[in-house]
Amino acid sequence: MISEAKENRPFAERIATIEGKKFNNKCNISRLSDGSMFCDCLQFLYQKKVNNDFPFSSCKHIRTEMRNHKFPNFKFQAPSAFQKAYLKKLGVEVKKRLTNAQAYFILGAHLERQKLKYDEFEDLLFEHPKVNFLPLNYFDVEFEGGLGCSKEEFEEKLAKAGIESLITDYVRTWQNSKWEIESNSSISIHGSLEGVKVTSPKFSGNTGFEEITKVLKLWDETLPTYRNGNKKILAFDRTCGTHVHVDAHGWRMRDFLRLAKVWAKMEIPVIWYLVSPSRRNGKYCKTVDEYFIETLSKERILWDRYYSLAFEAYPKRIVGYRIHEGTLDDKKITSWIVFLLMLTDAVKKGLSHTDFEPTFDGVIDAVGMSGSNTTPLIKEAKNYLSESFQHWKEEERRNPPSSKPTPINIARIEKKFRKGGSR
């Protein structure tokens, strides 16, 4: 992967796949040609909470697997100067027991998740002192819609494509190291289809987008055509949504409150025009209002999940974004996920509702998606969202709504709680 290693690249052999304690993610362990080991969990990829008391850098998964192996031929070789510099650009902490081979595969895993070729990566670093990369937070997606086959047939179809799934009974297990398929009677779809909710495993970066694309394509293949045979029956209608859950590990109540204020400021003037009008301020997707902000300001979680922004999974430190319409369009949903990952990361880094103007350009700039110092993946998402924004703005101009809510006055709420001695 690095320039000086082209003639003698290290290699890896997968030796184990480890499920999380709650079966909510899984990671792959490989033995490397220098005798060290590699794990594709995010802690190892960013070298967070790794142990340097072993012969080489190790996360908790590697330490578990090390009990089953011996390392008679291991000889430590430190990363090259190029590797160290490039990893630091990606936000990786270069620890003292990180080996050259481990650095090689960490860099490769990052570039794969960023959908970047090595020469594209080098060009970006050469042209820009600071590059905005896609945050690799874990995320999952919940698709509501109709299948043109039974759940069992769809599970078999996924299995043939090498995609693991399981059928659940109406209640999400949150043990989603596999795709979950469950019945969904809450949606209204064509009578020939079976209403379902299909939830992805936890993913990070473009590797997740690629699998989502495969699953949506297989889903689309199940749909029958109308009698004239010219058009497929739609898998969804206005009652269907696509919900994205983003990991917010380490967040405190004040972080969720800051996100709620940021979201409230941008929701009506910007977010509304990135999604279908059917998802705007509906019964099951209410706009974030003063009551929502005031509840969080009292350091309480609003357990009502029928808002566009949902914190009902707060104990698991997960943010739910519920405003997107039902879709089998991979480009549409991956562009939306890129935006949500950038938004969540920007808030984590301190973005406040006072830091941006509530315009498309203002929001895109605030979350780090504008400018030439972004990756092609982020640029593609930004361009897609821009087209969507312009389309729905023009649609509203041609067909003005009878009424439209006024964005909430966040400053007034903050003043109220300052007077009351609360935040």
Residue 6 has pLDDT above 70, yes or no: no
The answer to whether 249 and 136 are in contact (CB under 8 A) is: no
**Local confidence band at 232 (pLDDT 50, 70, 90 cut-offs):** confident
Residue 239 has pLDDT above 50, yes or no: yes
**Average of per-residue pLDDT across 269-282:** 93
CA nearest to 216, candidates 136, 328, 320, 366: 328
CA nearest to 270, candidates 114, 369, 153, 390: 390
**Average of per-residue pLDDT across 241-268:** 95
Residue 197 has pLDDT above 90, yes or no: yes
What pLDDT, on a 0 to 100 scale, did the predictor assign at position 3? 37
Q: Can you tell me whether residue 13 is helix, strand or coil? A: strand
Residue 165 has pLDDT above 70, yes or no: yes
What pLDDT, on a 0 to 100 scale, did the predictor assign at position 299? 86
In CATH, what is the architecture of 139-416? 2-Layer Sandwich (3.30)
Residue 175 has pLDDT above 70, yes or no: no
**Local confidence band at 174 (pLDDT 50, 70, 90 cut-offs):** low
pTM for the full predicted model? 0.93
Alpha carbon distance 297, 419 (integer Å): 13
**Average of per-residue pLDDT across 290-319:** 87
**Local confidence band at 419 (pLDDT 50, 70, 90 cut-offs):** low
**Local confidence band at 242 (pLDDT 50, 70, 90 cut-offs):** very high
Which tokens in the block code for residue 136? 């690799």
What pLDDT, on a 0 to 100 scale, did the predictor assign at position 4? 41
Burial class (CB in 10 A: 0-12, 13-18, 19+), 39: buried
What pLDDT, on a 0 to 100 scale, did the predictor assign at position 172? 60
Q: What is the chain's mean pLDDT, rounded?
A: 90
**Local confidence band at 90 (pLDDT 50, 70, 90 cut-offs):** very high
332-366 per-position pLDDT tens digit = 999 999 999 999 999 999 999 999 999 999 999 99
Alpha carbon distance 107, 101 (integer Å): 10
**How do 241-247 and 194-199 pair as beta strands?**
unpaired
Alpha carbon distance 408, 220 (integer Å): 40
Q: Which string of DSSP letters, residue by residue, matches 144-213?
A: EEEESS-HHHHHHHHHHTT--EEEE-SS--S--SSEEEEE-TTS---TTSEEEEEE---B-THHHHHHHH
Q: Can you tell me whether residue 25 is helix, strand or coil? A: coil
**Local confidence band at 221 (pLDDT 50, 70, 90 cut-offs):** very high
Dihedral sign (CA 305, 308, 311, 313): positive
Residue 2 has pLDDT above 80, yes or no: no
**Average of per-residue pLDDT across 55-60:** 92
Does residue 401 or residue 243 have the better pLDDT? 243
**Average of per-residue pLDDT across 396-417:** 87
**Local confidence band at 67 (pLDDT 50, 70, 90 cut-offs):** confident
14-43 per-position pLDDT tens digit = 999 988 765 567 899 999 999 999 999 999
Which part of the chain is CATH 3.30.590?
Answer: 139-416
140-151 per-position pLDDT tens digit = 999 999 999 999
Residue 407 has pLDDT above 90, yes or no: no
91-109 per-position pLDDT tens digit = 999 999 999 999 999 999 9
Alpha carbon distance 348, 251 (integer Å): 8
Please list, in sequence order, all residues whose beta carbon lies within 8 angstroms of the beta carbon of residue 326, skipping any fewer than 6 positions away.
Answer: 143, 144, 145, 187, 235, 236, 237, 240, 241, 242
The answer to whether 67 and 88 are in contact (CB under 8 A) is: no
Length of the chain counted residue by residue:
423
State what percent of residues in the chain have pLDDT above 90.
Answer: 70
What pLDDT, on a 0 to 100 scale, did the predictor assign at position 21? 66
**Average of per-residue pLDDT across 155-165:** 96
**Local confidence band at 7 (pLDDT 50, 70, 90 cut-offs):** low
Q: Which helix (H) or strand (E) holds 280?
A: none
State what percent of residues in the chain have pLDDT above 70.
Answer: 93
Residue 387 has pLDDT above 60, yes or no: yes
